[in-house]
Amino acid sequence: MTFSDHPIETPVRPGSPVHGFGTLAVHAGSPHDPSTGAVIEPISLSTTFAQRAVGEPVGAFEYSRSSNPNRENFEKAVAALEHAKYALAFSSGSATTAVILQSLAAGSHVISISDVYGGTHRYFTQVAKAHGVKVTFTPEIESDIVRQITPDTKLVWIETPSNPTLRLVDIRAVATQAHQHGILVVVDNTFLSPYVQNPLDHGADIVVHSVTKYINGHSDVVMGVAAFNSDEMKQRLSFLQNAIGAVPSAFDSWLAHRGLKTLHLRAREASTNATVVAAALEASPHVIAVNYPGAESHPHREIAKKQHRNGMGGGMLSFRIKGGKSAAEKFCQATTIYTLAESLGGVESLVEVPSSMTHAGIPKDQREAVGVFDDLVRLSCGVEDAQDLKNDVLQALEKAVVWPKITNGLNGISGPA
């Protein structure tokens, strides 16, 4: 038997994939083209599909906004990797968030962790309330959830790890409490990818991703996805996917599916690299603190060991640099391999200052309450060589922290630009 005879679809039952992650990543949702035998699926650009008679399409498709072969194959692959029955793809991670929030009735209440991604915070505070959904934020959701619940609470929104402080949430602890009140739990799994963490296995009801990040992995597609097990949710969210129309193109679906096939290789390498870089930062006298869930020093390390594959830390980390905002900015300009840019999860390493970039929209007092200070630098470790990334970070620290001090102390003597 070969995969071409029996293409791997979703797992036999949710939560019990019959194949390992790498095998599913390569083969799930990837049938060989029955007419040509093409091993890689063709890109199906047609917006519409012929019908034999009125209401009798030739195949499974009618119109590309409603469904498309490339989108459907990608959705099957993500469902398999997230141990879900269903997945639905959207035009961005933000569109995925919007559709889930719009699935709630007016008057609904949502509880979110405080340090959510800035765009999610913007949607929660500036858009959701326009259609009557109220969101409250809490920094300690495991202990605070019961106090936050009201009769209108319908959803809990978690990011674990959170962006950019890499705090972890015990999904099982939150889901157990939420389910006692009939509340659904959504986990944004963007920072780890399905390779490192499968939130549905820990009790979440919906897992969402900005596919733009690790799942696509090559910084050339903006896309989102939600995966879940409930048939009722499938009906509701598919309806909104079609009615709102925030769907990815066939080409983007094809590219993201191609990226997904190497997710396990990229996620492993990125995690190894981040571990090396985090250790180098922790040992540096120029660093105040490092946030990395793979480090034994991380306050939620025990959650990482329970929730992450082999206790891996993932490819993301952040750290506070000595010298404040100006040192943070100098650091980002001094790196030569890490590129100063927003986003994360690509094969190339990126660096940014969240307080002035990705999280600039969150008021300063709220930011700082959850640890997003002006001196916080966020690193997305790519798949370059660990030693090169470590050397890059160490030389940038010298330029950002040490040489400016020498310049200040000794008039006329300056370090390199």
Ligand X SMILES: Cc1ncc(COP(=O)(O)O)c(C=O)c1O
Exactly one of 71, 213, 266, 330 is catalytic; name it: 213
Query: Under a CB-based contact definition with an 8 Å cutoff, are residues 174 and 158 in contact?
Result: yes
CB 31 within 8 A of CB 23: no
Strands 206-210 and 316-321: unpaired
CA atoms within 13 A on the CB side of 156: 34
221 lies in the binding site for ligand X (CB under 6 A): no
Q: What six digits make up the tokens of 5?
A: 């005879």
Q: How far is the CB of 31 from ligand X (least distance, A)?
A: 27
Of these, 64, 70, 73, 92, which contacts ligand X (CB under 6 A)? 92
CB-based contact 158:187 (threshold 8 Å):
yes
Binding window for ligand X (CB under 6 A); candidates: 89-97, 248-256, 288-296, 366-374: 89-97
Q: How far is the CB of 222 from ligand X (least distance, A)?
A: 5
**Interface with ligand X, residue 218, by CB under 6 A:** no
Give 177 or 190: the residue with its C-beta nearer to ligand X. Answer: 190
Q: In the bound complex, what is the minimum distance in angstroms from residue 303's beta carbon to ligand X? A: 17
Q: How many residues does the chain have?
A: 417
Stretch that binds ligand X, among 13-21, 91-99, 250-258, 298-306 (CB under 6 A): 91-99
Shortest Cβ distance from residue 246 to ligand X (Å)?
10
CB 153: neighbour CB atoms within 10 A?
20
Q: In the complex with ligand X, which residue's Cβ is closer, 94 or 273?
A: 94
For 1, residues 6+ apart whose C-beta sits below 8 A from its C-beta are none
Closest separation in Å from C-beta 166 to ligand X: 11
Select the residue whose beta carbon is closest to ligand X and give its number.
93
* Calpha distance 290→307 (Å, rounded): 20
Contact residue for ligand X among 170, 188, 252, 375 (CB under 6 A) = 188
Torsion of CA 244, 249, 252, 258, to 10 degrees: 100
Report the residue from 41, 75, 115, 159 that binds ligand X according to the rule CB under 6 A: 159
Helix (H) or strand (E) holding 208: strand 206-210
**Closer residue to ligand X (CB): 163 or 318:** 163
Is 65 catalytic? The answer is yes
Burial class (CB in 10 A: 0-12, 13-18, 19+), 307: buried
Site membership for ligand X, residue 210 (CB under 6 A): yes
- Is residue 190 involved in binding ligand X (CB under 6 A)? yes
CB of 117 to ligand X, least distance (A): 4
Count Cβ atoms below 10 Å from residue 387 Cβ, excluding itself: 11
Instruction: Give least dist CB 63 to ligand X, A.
Output: 24
Q: Tell the smallest beta-carbon distance from residue 182 to ligand X (Å).
A: 26
- Which 8-state DSSP code applies to residue 157? E
Q: Which residue intervals of 227-323 are DSSP H helices?
A: 231-244, 250-260, 263-282, 301-307
* 61/228 with CB nearer ligand X: 228
Non-local CB neighbours of 350 within 8 Å, separated by 6+ positions:
338, 339, 340, 341, 342, 343, 344, 379, 380, 382
- Would you count residue 94 as binding ligand X (CB under 6 A)? yes
Contacting residue, 11, 17, 69, 93, with ligand X by CB under 6 A: 93
Identify the active-site residue in 71, 76, 115, 117: 117
Cβ proximity of 293 and 300 under 8 Å: yes
9-17, 23-31, 116-124, 395-403 -> range binding ligand X (CB under 6 A)? 116-124
Residue 86 a catalytic site member: no
Does the protein bind ligand X through residue 89 (CB under 6 A)?
no
Kindly state the tokens that stand for 415. Answer: 């370090």
Which positions ≥6 away from 235 have C-beta within 8 Å?
none
- Residue from 67, 153, 163, 355 in contact with ligand X (CB under 6 A): 163
Burial of 77 (C-beta count, 10 Å sphere; 0-12/13-18/19+): buried
Q: Which of 115, 170, 188, 392 is catalytic?
A: 188
Q: Does 319 bind ligand X (CB under 6 A)?
A: no
Among the listed residues 179, 194, 187, 172, the one whose alpha carbon sits nearest the alpha carbon of residue 17: 194
Q: Which of 222, 225, 246, 250 binds ligand X (CB under 6 A)?
A: 222
Catalytic positions, please?
A: 65, 117, 188, 213
Residues that bind ligand X (CB under 6 A): 92-94, 117, 119-120, 159, 163, 188, 190-191, 210, 212, 222, 224
